[in-house]
Every structure is written in C-alpha cells, then in structure tokens.
Amino acid sequence: MEKKEKDLQIIIDCGKKYKENLAGKQLLIVSSKNGTISTTEVEFSLRNYHHFTGVKLQKNPVTNKLITTSQFINKALNGRLKTDDWEYRKDGTTGLKLKILQDIVEIHKTAKMIGSYVDNRVMLKTDLCIGNIFCYLGMIKTNSITRFDNNVYVPNTVINKDIREDVREPEKIIAIYRKNKTDKIYQELTYLAKGESKQDIEYKIIEYLHN
C-alpha cells in the first residue's frame, strides 16, 4: 500500500501541474529538417490527463458506476482522489507511465523531437509523437482545423521510451509556443532550442504571432 500511496501523490501533484501547464491550452510545435520549417498544433483538455497516468478507473462505491475521466482529474485537483478510485493495469504500463509523468506534464519545455509513429505495436494506435530520449507523447489527428488551416492533434497516450525508436525520421523541435485555446495568436515562447534565433523563427511563422 505504501507504493500506491506514493503513486497517488504523484498523480495528484502532476495533475495540478497538468492543469497549470497544458489543460485548456494549445501548443505550436515548430520543427526543422534540412532547413525547412514545419508547424504542428496540439490541443489539451482536462480529460486527457487520465491517459497520461495509465491507471484503470474503479467503480464509485455509492453509484456503482465507473469513475469518469473528468471525475478522476477533478478529484485529483481537489485532493479527494483515493487509492480505491484507481488500480494498476495488469500489463505493467501504469508504473511505466507514472515514472515519466513529471516530464510529460511539462512537455511544452521537454519535447526535443517530433515525427510520425511507426506502427510496430498492435495495441498502440497513434499518429504523431513529440518527446525526447526518455519518453514521448502520442497524438491523433482530429477533424478540427485551426485558423491557420492546420489539423489539430490531441494526445492519446504516453510512452516510457526513447522517441527515436518508434518514430520515422524524427525532426528537431526548435521552438514551442503556448496559448489558451480561446486566444487567436501565440504569444508565449516556452522552449527555444540551443543555438536557434527567436527572431529568425518568428519571422518564418509570423502569421501565428500576429492578427
């Protein structure tokens, strides 16, 4: 039980950071390959957090219904989440995801590479990945289109693995910008790769930064 109590605290602490850093926000991932700049937009909601933890939700003893993903994150944020509310998955993935959860809820600062997922595992279905040599976030494309004519991606899994092992020809992320989903333009730079010029990058993606 001691281990589960420690993992519960990780879920609660990282849940608060997830709300602060990512929930209700969009990231603009700027990547470069052979001198060509590419942009990708990722959208996060509160209910995505359950996927990040990898836990199996349990039934509410009062209603006898499974706790929803929204109830899970809200209970974590309010400090009311209990060890009885969730369980480890039998395949061992929960423990692996909790080990990297701190890194994932700060993906707007820790992601270094991006690329298309190579489908080499039957149970994992994702399209695009962002991450580093320690872990990555898998994302799927939605039907939404932003004002910049980009498809929006949403997260659907996290993997405790070097992104280079599962991504085809990863591109270097040179900058990450963040905004609230309700805002029109990106104004906050959360990551800039070493040796890159903020001015040069912003000149190439100026439409994202000005009305």
Q: How many CB atoms lie within 10 A of CB 110?
A: 20
The pair of structure tokens assigned to 97 is 């995801």
CA 61 to chain centre: 31
pLDDT score recorded for residue 81: 95
What's 6's DSSP letter?
H
Q: What is the pLDDT of residues 148-169, one digit of tens each?
A: 566 789 999 999 999 999 998 8
Q: What is the pLDDT of residues 99-138, one digit of tens each?
A: 999 999 999 999 999 999 986 665 678 899 999 999 999 9
pLDDT score recorded for residue 35: 84
Place of tokens 């990106």: 186
Query: What is d(CA 96, CA 55) in angstroms, rounded to the nearest whole number?
Result: 11
Mean pLDDT split into 10-residue runs, the chain, 211 residues = 92 97 97 92 94 93 87 94 95 94 97 89 80 95 68 91 92 97 93 96 90 67
Phi–psi pair at 124, nearest 5 degrees: -110, 120
Answer for the pair 112, 173: CB distance below 8 angstroms, yes or no. Answer: yes
- Any residues with CB less than 8 A from the CB of 125 and at least 6 apart, and which? 119, 140, 156
- Decide the pairing of beta strands 151-159 and 36-43: parallel
Angle at 87 between CA 86 and CA 92, to 5 degrees: 140
pLDDT score recorded for residue 142: 84
Answer for the pair 65, 22: CB distance below 8 angstroms, yes or no. Answer: no
Is residue 57 helix, strand or coil? strand
Q: How many CA atoms lie within 13 A of 24 on its CB side?
A: 6
Axis-axis angle for helices 69-77, 2-21 (nearest 10): 90
pLDDT score recorded for residue 181: 92
pLDDT score recorded for residue 60: 82
The pair of structure tokens assigned to 152 is 């929006």
pLDDT score recorded for residue 168: 85
